[in-house]
């Protein structure tokens, strides 16, 4: 039986016109995105030192640091971002509208600029530098700086998704919940969170993916110190100069982690969405 | 109006105490409110009272403030002045002067059940999950028993683990009612609970609700804009318009013989004729009213003399259409006319009959429509009894519509 690439129905009137172009575009797109990923995997399989790299100290330290810092970042993003997103979704004031307009700025801001900006704020000679150093705190080139950089670039992904999710929950549900004797806090926990869950999960996954791949802001603000601030993307760059095997090992690991996150997300969303009509 | 409602309130509270006194001496199953809610330029002056086992119907057009009234009772809207009490306990009191210190009980501590117009069943929970939502200790066997009992009494058996959107409209409505009843509320608030259902289901659910209320003795405030629903369910009907109570009392007297023109239009008296009293027949208990060359007989009214303007109301369902003047009929009023329009008005049809300048609206069934051959352009006689005509004292609207004489 021949493989059927296209199904004829529901394609709409414009597709007939553009079908050849659509086919060509699909081939180009899939090749362009797929080829480098295939090349990475193929090359990793052939490379000497790939397996050794996987268990080498550079890789393990970077992996450990990336997992720990991104986990801490996500905890902070959720703790701060959730009430903030709820407020943005439910209240409307001129001040909030202005804040809302700037929430997504870090998404479009070049990460290197974010790193410089953070140095200017929290660095030794930054705005808060004197205050921080008089309190005995020095942020730059510490693991804390890695976490701050990740939060800065990743938080908007979560806040944006959470705000959309909360805005989609009809407040009448919350009203009814309260009339049933359920307190506002319990209503939030038992009703609002579950109803906004797909958005929250998507936002969190995107934010985590952004945090784990963070490079520019981290290297500017936190530096590249093995075991302290050298996360996986930084370690890849460092390894590329000395050991291609280790760089490939880190790259494949990062690819696998991202793919796993995507798979877990769609599995979770699929389960959440299954009962939908 | 105000005096009336104050009186009925104290009476209701007394009966409430008597009724619940035997069942549960601790709880007073009643609710009352006299408060003001300002929302922008809209003002609701709410004064109501409902006692155990009683259904109070708030009736009125959309935008009248009915839903706001329910939300104020529920604590979802905060009144600007006045007092609201549920179960004999104040849940809201404005802190003005002599009234004492302000009181505010949030919705989740008011012990109420609230069924919204669109049910708002929680989509992430099953039927059983929805019903159990307001119960404490949801894993306890007693709680499960409570849910099972409600599922049984609202005939939701076999649907426990269904998702709520898999249910029919009637099943959704029953689930919402079961969910509201589960925590044993001391006041049940129902906002157009049957609006989205078809006629048959509506009547069935209305009967079930009646039975349930008299069994549980829960006071109910029900909002509707359907006359039929108000008649079928209400122990008391309160007509609300533009934030004010314009009439209140037993459903038959408020909805069938409405005293005021504005109320009449709200409750749907289709024919309202501006006339003048011509002759009084005290021995017959009737009088003749005229406008132009039209005249009709109405029940005798005190305090009116010949020449006084009156508004005569006739329900469309009280007018009979006939091919001839029916000489043997006891009906005193027969007007010839020509059909100008026929409109589907479930459960039957509404026919507009032009009686030499005055259009009468009459309701007939589909069978009669066919049997008589009613169609625009054909001549018929409108026949109605003197006792079907009632006088509307049109004080509020007098400025807007003066008699054409």
What is the tens place of the pLDDT at every residue in A150-198? 999 999 999 999 999 999 999 999 999 999 999 999 999 999 999 999 9
Could you tell me the CA-to-CA distances from A190 to A101, A174, A183 in Å, in that order?
30, 10, 10
Taking CB atoms and an 8 Å limit, are A181 and B113 in contact across chains? no
Q: Write out chain B residues lying below 8 Å of A178, CB-based.
A: 75-76, 106-108
Instruction: Provide the shortest C-alpha distance from residue B141 to chain A (in Å).
Output: 20
- Structure tokens of B338? 């020509």
Host H or E run for residue A133: helix A129-134
Structure confidence by residue, pLDDT tens digits, B284-316? 888 999 888 888 988 888 778 888 888 888 888
Mapped onto helix, strand or coil, the DSSP state of residue B282 is coil
Backbone angles phi and psi of A228, in degrees to 5 = -115, -50
Host H or E run for residue A30: helix A13-46
Name which of B107, B150, B72 is nearest A186 in CA terms: B107
Nearest to A183 among B75, B108, B180 (CB): B108
Tell me the domain boundaries of chain A.
42-273
Instruction: Say yes or no: A170 contacts chain B, CB-CB below 8 A.
Output: yes
Q: How far apart are CA B4 and CA B101, in angstroms?
A: 28
- Which CATH code of 1.10.20.10, 3.90.180.10, 1.10.3720.10, 2.60.40.420 fits the domain covering A42-273? 1.10.3720.10
Mapped onto helix, strand or coil, the DSSP state of residue B331 is coil
Backbone angles phi and psi of B120, in degrees to 5 = 50, 50
Q: Quick one: how far is CA B187 from the chain centroid?
A: 18
C-alpha atoms less than 13 angstroms from C-alpha of A17 in its C-beta half-sphere:
3
Q: Write out chain A residues lying below 8 Å of B71, CB-based.
A: 175
Q: Write out chain A residues lying below 8 Å of B180, CB-based.
A: 179-180
- Predicted pLDDT of residue B50: 92
Could you tell me the CA-to-CA distances from B391 to B257, B259, B306 in Å, in that order?
9, 7, 15
Backbone angles phi and psi of A197, in degrees to 5 = -50, -50
Instruction: Provide the shortest C-alpha distance from residue B248 to chain A (in Å).
Output: 27
Could you tell me the CA-to-CA distances from A111 to A104, A105, A157, A215, B287 in Å, in that order?
13, 11, 14, 7, 91
Q: Give the other-Cβ count within 10 Å of B223's Cβ.
A: 26
Q: How far apart are CA B346 and CA B363, in angstroms?
A: 10
- The pLDDT confidence band at residue A277, using thresholds 50, 70 and 90, is very low
Q: How far apart are CA B95 and CA A170, in angstroms?
A: 32
Report whether B263 contacts B251 (CB < 8 A).
Answer: no
Report whether A192 contacts A230 (CB < 8 A).
Answer: no
Structure confidence by residue, pLDDT tens digits, A23-81? 899 999 999 999 999 999 998 888 777 777 788 888 889 999 999 999 999 999 999 99
Q: How far apart are CA A94 and CA B389, in angstroms?
A: 59
- The pLDDT confidence band at residue A3, using thresholds 50, 70 and 90, is low
Taking CB atoms and an 8 Å limit, are A176 and B116 in contact across chains? yes
Taking CB atoms and an 8 Å limit, are A180 and B182 in contact across chains? yes
Place of tokens 């049997």: B371
Q: Write out chain A residues lying below 8 Å of B112, CB-based.
A: 179
- Predicted pLDDT of residue B30: 87
Backbone angles phi and psi of A266, in degrees to 5 = -70, -30
- Predicted pLDDT of residue B274: 85
Could you tell me the CA-to-CA distances from B218 to B28, B48, B87, B95, B209 in Å, in that order?
10, 16, 10, 29, 11
Which residues are CB-neighbours of B173 under 8 A, at least 6 positions away?
Answer: B115, B119, B193, B194, B196, B197, B205
Instruction: Provide the shortest C-alpha distance from residue A75 to chain B (in Å).
Output: 25
Could you tell me the CA-to-CA distances from B112 to A73, A211, B44 in Å, in that order?
42, 47, 21
Q: Quick one: how far is CA A131 from the chain centroid?
A: 31
Residue B33 pairs with which residues in a beta bridge? B48, B84
Mean pLDDT score across all residues of chain A: 88
Q: What is the mean pLDDT of each run of 10 residues along chain B (405 residues)?
A: 39 37 53 88 90 91 87 92 89 75 91 91 93 88 89 88 88 92 92 79 83 89 85 89 87 74 71 87 87 87 83 86 77 88 80 89 86 88 87 49 35
ipTM here = 0.79
Q: What domains are defined for chain B?
A: 2-111+185-256 (3.40.50.300), 264-392 (2.40.50.100)
Nearest to B120 among A173, A182, A184 (CB): A173
> Above pLDDT 70, what percent of chain A?
92
- Structure tokens of B402? 């003066």
Lowest-pLDDT choice from A42-46, A216-220, A230-234 = A42-46
Restricting to A residues 211-240, those with a Cβ less than 8 Å away from any Cβ of B are none
- Structure tokens of B144? 């499960």
What is the pLDDT averaged over residues A138-144? 86
Name which of B117, B43, B46, B64 is nearest B265 in CA terms: B64
Q: Write out chain B residues lying below 8 Å of A187, CB-based.
A: 108
Q: Give the other-Cβ count within 10 Å of A65's Cβ.
A: 22
Instruction: Provide the shortest C-alpha distance from residue B142 to chain A (in Å).
Output: 18
Taking CB atoms and an 8 Å limit, are A181 and B134 in contact across chains? yes
- Structure tokens of A212? 């784990």
- Predicted pLDDT of residue A225: 87
Which residues are CB-neighbours of B138 under 8 A, at least 6 positions away?
Answer: B132
Place of tokens 């809302």: A100
E runs forming strands in B87-202: 89-93, 103-104, 112-115, 187-191
Taking CB atoms and an 8 Å limit, are B165 and A277 in contact across chains? yes
What string of DSSP letters covers A2-23? -------TT--HHHHHHHHHHH
What string of DSSP letters covers A69-115? HHHHHHHHHHHHHHHHHHHHHH---HHHHHHHHHHTHHHHS-HHHHH
Q: How far apart are CA A249 and CA A261, in angstroms?
A: 18
Residue B244 pairs with which residues in a beta bridge? B241
Substitution target from B73, B76, B107, B143 for chain A, most A beta carbons within 10 A: B107
- Predicted pLDDT of residue A34: 93
Taking CB atoms and an 8 Å limit, are A184 and B180 in contact across chains? no
Backbone angles phi and psi of B260, in degrees to 5 = -110, 145
Give first-to-last CA distance, chain A, whole Å: 34
Q: Give the other-Cβ count within 10 Å of A252's Cβ.
A: 18
């Amino acid at each position: 039986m021949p493989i059927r690439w296209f199904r004829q129905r529901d394609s709409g009137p414009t597709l007939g016109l553009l079908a050849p172009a659509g086919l060509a575009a699909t081939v180009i797109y899939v090749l362009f995105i797929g080829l480098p990923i295939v090349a990475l995997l193929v090359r990793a399989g052939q490379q000497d030192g790939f397996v050794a790299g996987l268990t080498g100290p550079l890789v393990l330290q970077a992996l450990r640091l990336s997992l720990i810092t991104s986990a801490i970042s996500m905890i902070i993003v959720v703790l701060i971002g959730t009430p903030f997103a709820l407020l943005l979704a439910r209240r409307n004031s001129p001040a909030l509208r202005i804040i809302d307009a700037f929430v997504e700025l870090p998404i479009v801001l070049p990460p290197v600029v974010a790193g410089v900006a953070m140095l200017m704020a929290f660095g030794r000679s930054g705005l808060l530098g004197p205050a921080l150093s008089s309190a005995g705190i020095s942020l730059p080139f510490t693991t804390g700086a890695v976490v701050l950089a990740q939060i800065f670039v990743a938080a908007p992904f979560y806040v944006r998704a959470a705000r959309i999710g909360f805005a989609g929950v009809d407040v009448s549900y919350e009203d009814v919940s309260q009339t049933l004797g359920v307190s506002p806090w319990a209503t939030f926990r038992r009703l609002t969170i579950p109803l906004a869950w797909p958005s929250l999960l998507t936002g969190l996954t995107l934010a985590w993916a952004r945090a784990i791949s963070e490079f520019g802001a981290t290297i500017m603000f936190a530096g590249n110190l093995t075991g302290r601030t050298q996360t996986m993307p930084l370690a890849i760059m460092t390894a590329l100069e000395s050991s291609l095997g280790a760089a490939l090992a880190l790259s494949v690991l990062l690819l696998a982690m991202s793919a796993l996150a995507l798979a877990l997300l769609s599995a979770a969303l699929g389960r959440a969405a299954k009962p939908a009509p | 109006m105000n005096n009336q409602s104050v009186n009925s309130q104290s009476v209701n509270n007394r009966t409430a105490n008597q009724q619940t006194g035997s069942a549960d001496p601790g709880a007073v199953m009643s609710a009352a409110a006299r408060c003001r809610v300002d929302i922008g330029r809209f003002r609701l002056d709410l004064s109501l009272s409902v006692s155990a086992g009683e259904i109070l119907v708030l009736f009125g057009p959309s935008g009248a403030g009915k839903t706001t009234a329910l939300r104020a009772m529920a604590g979802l809207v905060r009144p600007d002045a006045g007092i609201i009490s549920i179960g004999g306990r104040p849940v809201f009191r404005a802190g003005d002067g002599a009234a004492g210190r302000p009181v505010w009980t949030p919705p989740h501590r008011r012990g109420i059940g609230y069924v919204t117009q669109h049910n708002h069943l929680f989509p992430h929970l099953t039927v059983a999950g929805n019903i159990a939502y307001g119960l404490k200790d949801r894993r306890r066997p007693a709680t499960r028993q409570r849910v099972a009992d409600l599922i049984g009494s609202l005939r939701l058996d076999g649907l426990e683990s269904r998702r709520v959107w898999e249910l029919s409209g009637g099943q959704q409505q029953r689930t919402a009612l079961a969910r509201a009843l589960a925590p044993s509320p001391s006041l049940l608030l129902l906002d157009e609970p049957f609006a989205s259902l078809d006629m048959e289901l509506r009547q069935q659910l209305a009967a079930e609700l009646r039975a349930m209320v008299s069994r549980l003795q829960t006071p109910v405030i029900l909002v509707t804009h359907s006359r039929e629903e108000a008649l079928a369910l209400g122990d008391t009907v309160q007509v609300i318009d533009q934030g004010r109570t314009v009439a209140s009392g037993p459903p038959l007297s408020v909805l069938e013989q409405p005293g005021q023109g504005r109320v009449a239009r709200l409750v749907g008296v289709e024919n309202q004729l501006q006339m003048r009293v011509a002759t009084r027949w005290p021995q017959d208990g009737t009088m003749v009213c005229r406008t132009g060359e039209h005249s009709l007989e109405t029940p005798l009214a005190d305090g009116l003399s010949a020449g006084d303007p009156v508004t005569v109301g006739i329900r469309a369902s009280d007018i009979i259409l006939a091919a001839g003047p029916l000489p043997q009929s006891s009906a005193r009023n027969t007007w010839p006319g020509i059909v100008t329009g026929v409109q589907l008005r479930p459960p039957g049809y509404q026919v507009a009959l032009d009686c030499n300048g005055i259009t009468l609206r009459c309701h007939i069934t589909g069978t009669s429509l066919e049997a008589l051959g009613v169609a625009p352009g054909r001549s018929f006689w409108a026949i109605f009894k003197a006792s079907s005509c009632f006088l509307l004292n049109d004080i509020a609207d007098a400025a807007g519509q003066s008699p054409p004489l």
